[in-house]
Amino acid sequence: MSICDARYTTRILCGLRRGGPGHHKDRREPPMQTRNAAGRPSLRSAVDALGDVVRVIADPSMLATSMAETFRKMVSVDRCAIFFPSGRDEFRVGCWSGQADYTPHLRHLITGKDPFTAEILQRNAPVVIPDSRTDWRVADELDTTLRCNVRSMVGVPIFSGAVPVAIAYLDDEGSATRFSSAQLDTAREFAMLCGLVLGQRERPDSVARARETGLALARRTQLLSEDLGKLAYRNASLAEFASLIADALNRPVSIYDSEWRRVAHGQPPRCLRRPAGELSDPSVRAHPRVEEAIAHVTAGKAQMLPPLPALGLDLRSLVTPIPLGATTWGGLAVFEAGRPFDEYDNHVTSVAALRVALALSTAHLSHRTTEELREAFVVDLFRGAMAAEAIPRRAEAVGLRDGPHAVCVVGTSGPQTSARTARTLLEHLPSATALVATAEIDGWLACLLPLPTGPEPGRAAVEALRDNLASVVSASSNYGRTMAGISTPAKDLAHCERAYRDARQVVLTLQRFDNPHLPRVVSADEIGGGLALLSTAQVDEMRVFAQDKLGPLHTASRHADLLATVHTFLRTGNVLRCAHVLGVHENTIRYRLTKIEELTGLALVGDPDAQVQASLALLVLRLTGECDWNIGLPK
């Protein structure tokens, strides 16, 4: 401490020993309340207490917290928050004292560049806001003051010489208060004492980490980098990356893909539990500040996003791009919960983003962009080249969610189809059809599509997709003999290999029978259990089989009603339901079934083998065009 500082401190202490103005009685004038409990006699005990704290406490963060607590008690207010310079001409909260932490909201109100703080620093004296709801200095942040429950407040500068080392903000929670001259004098003089102490101490803007050496920080970063490298090597999930980064920084961490969907989140157990906000919300991303920040991140530049409480973004966030080749795969967002950001956070976030990018690129080493990664995932998924336990991690890495899906395969009547033509066809589907990922496999385009969840997931959606796709194909001659097969719903991604096989077999079946009167888009459900057989069978042999089983029914027009009964009975599985669908009496159905058995030898009632033969024969007749596809009646 310098001689001048010592003389000043002595002058204050001498003044305390001589005594000063006593305590003023409370006087209350609705709706304002006057707080006059502070005074010089109590300042002497505060000086003594502060001296004891300085001698005992070595941790700068604990020292600052003790200052805030003493400040609050000396000035007789409910709350006190002390802000410290952040190194970028801003002031960030360092400590607080009160019933509950209200500073996450207060950060948006006080930055060092706001009119209130600017006046405090310019005057180098306490500045009072009588009513935050009407005062022009904080009028632009009315929502923040309401969230913080701040009505009247006073800001007190803390200088060390000519350098501002902190600012104390004091208020009575939710109350309109008329601060007395005794309170303001006490606040000013105690701030001078705090400035003397802080001038001799290291500022607590990075808490305990501020006392670590550069070598120790480098070592910690190196260890974290090694741990992240191990996760990348064993193809860990993005959720594991987020958890490790969150634990290292003691901050909430989120990972977003190229479409800014949150694919992973990490929350350290001892971190401040406050909502971090959700950048995946389109309404949040539409805000000009957020939109600008995301544009910079997409261009490969890290961005600091300020708190935007109106959007639910209560915490400042550092968003770092995750590179993948020459493009940006997504972003790594770290939220400022607790202490202010420092260089350690910046460095660790950059290293972590590169390690996440390494994990993404090693998922398929020959693919660099997000689209290529997705296509590689689809190929491996459909060909069964992934272990079941690896599917969720690979899906998460390319921004896909598990759940019900359908597979669509687009081909032509020739040996190959143009993938570009197929993609153009899919682009004309209604916007409600959300195409997730595509891949060209064996000259055909395979598509992975999400389905809604439910007790019977996606069957109605599959039918709607079939109808929409058929409308697009039939509406234009540009698609030639394009045909598409759609699988039955798969309950999750692990079952999509079978779904791809079904969709591919549908196209193979349509291609093999090559009937121009067939629908251009068919689902696996419409072909049924004979799909695997018909996709590889010889058409001539299947014609012979169908004639042998159902020939007497479809060659004679007088038996048209019998063939319709075969189709409907096999579809409904019940005499009563069959009669209801055909609009006849149930005894009529029983008579027809007896007649069918006489003509074909197939006892459809009670003989599963006869039902299978009849079903397969009828399907062949529909595929060859000898029966109408939709109703199963003779042409």
Would 270 be classed as within a structural domain? yes
Q: Report the pLDDT value the prediction gives residue 412, as an integer from 0 to 100.
A: 73
Inside any domain, residue 375:
yes
Q: What is the DSSP string of 94-142?
A: EEEESSS--HHHHHHH--SSSHHHHHHHHHTS-EEES-TTT-GGGGGGH
First to last CA, the chain: 107
Residue 222 has pLDDT above 80, yes or no: no
Give the domain range for residue 162. 3-209
Considering the domain boundaries, does residue 402 fall inside one?
A: yes
- Domain boundary, last residue among 362, 384, 409: 362
Q: Identify which has the larger pLDDT, 387 or 464.
A: 464
Q: 390 or 216: whose pLDDT is higher?
A: 390
pLDDT, residue 27, reads 39
Q: What's residue 26's pLDDT?
A: 42
How confident is the model at residue 295, as a pLDDT? 92
pLDDT in the model for residue 8: 45
Domain boundary among 501, 527, 553: 527
pLDDT band at 520 (very low <50, low <70, confident <90, very high): confident
Higher pLDDT, 118 or 435: 118
- What's the mean pLDDT in 260-272? 79
Structure confidence at residue 556 (pLDDT): 62
pLDDT of residue 168: 92
CB atoms within 10 A of CB 161: 12
Which CATH number characterizes residue 415's domain? 3.30.70
Between these two residues, 428 and 498, which has the higher pLDDT value? Answer: 498
Looking at residue 9, its pLDDT comes to 47
- 152 and 85 together in one domain: yes
**Whether 475 and 553 share a structural domain:** no
**335 pairs with which residues across the strands?**
317
Q: Are residues 253 and 389 in the same domain?
A: no
* Position with higher pLDDT, 415 vs 586: 586
Single residue among 499, 527, 555 that ends a domain in this structure: 527
- Residues 357 and 493 reside in one and the same domain: no
Res. 208 pLDDT band, cuts 50 70 90 = very low
Task: State how far the Cα of 598 lies from the Cα of 143, in Å rounded to an integer.
Answer: 84
Residues 123 and 254 in one domain: no
For residues 149-178, average pLDDT: 88
- pLDDT over 60 at 317, yes or no: yes
Q: Looking at the structure, do residues 195 and 235 belong to the same domain, yes or no?
A: no
Mean pLDDT of 64-89: 83
- Do 518 and 556 belong to one domain? no
632 within a domain of the structure (yes/no): no
Does 514 have pLDDT greater than 50?
yes
- Return the pLDDT at 154: 94
**Residue 46: its pLDDT value, please?**
58
Contact at 8 Å (CB) between 158 and 195?
Answer: yes
Indicate if 72 and 195 belong to the same structural domain.
yes
Helix (H, G, I), strand (E, B) or coil at 511: helix
Write the DSSP string, 595-606.
Answer: HHHHHH----SS
Distance CA 579, CA 220 (A): 78
Domain CATH for 589: 1.10.10.2840
* pLDDT confidence band for 17 (50 / 70 / 90): very low
Taking alpha carbons only, the member of 537, 540, 484 closest to residue 507 is 484
Residues 195 and 244 in one domain: no
What confidence category does residue 432 fall into, taking pLDDT thresholds of 50, 70 and 90?
very low
Report the alpha-carbon distance of residue 443 to residue 446 in Å, rounded.
9
Residue type, 439: A
Same domain, 381 and 511: yes
Helices (H), 271-369: 282-285, 288-298, 343-362
Q: What is the mean pLDDT of residues 524-548?
A: 87
pLDDT of residue 240: 84
- Helices 181-200 and 3-18: crossing angle in degrees, nearest 10, is 150
CATH code of the domain in which 43 resides: 3.30.450.40
Question: In this structure, are 11 and 150 located in the same domain?
Answer: yes
Place of tokens 């394009």: 482
- What does pLDDT average to over the chain? 78
Structural domain contains residue 633: no
Structure tokens at 548: 């042998």
pLDDT beyond 70 at 251: yes
Of 362 and 367, the one with more pLDDT:
362
Complete edge-to-edge strand list for the sheet that includes strand 177-179: 28-29, 32-35, 177-179
- Kindly report, residue by residue over 465-493, the tens digit of the pLDDT: 888 888 877 766 656 678 889 999 998 89
Note whether residue 634 is domain-resident.
Answer: no
Please report, for residues 97, 122, 548, the alpha-carbon distance to residue 156 in angstroms, rounded to integers and kept in the order given.
15, 12, 100
Specify whether 487 is located in the same domain as 351.
Answer: no
In a domain? residue 533 = no
Tell me what the mean pLDDT of segment 501-526 comes to: 88
Task: Give ∠ CA 550-518-613 in degrees, rounded to 5.
Answer: 25
Q: Assess whether pLDDT exceeds 70 at residue 59.
A: no
3-state secondary structure of 483: strand
The average pLDDT across 344-349 equals 84
For the chain, how many structural domains are there in total? 4
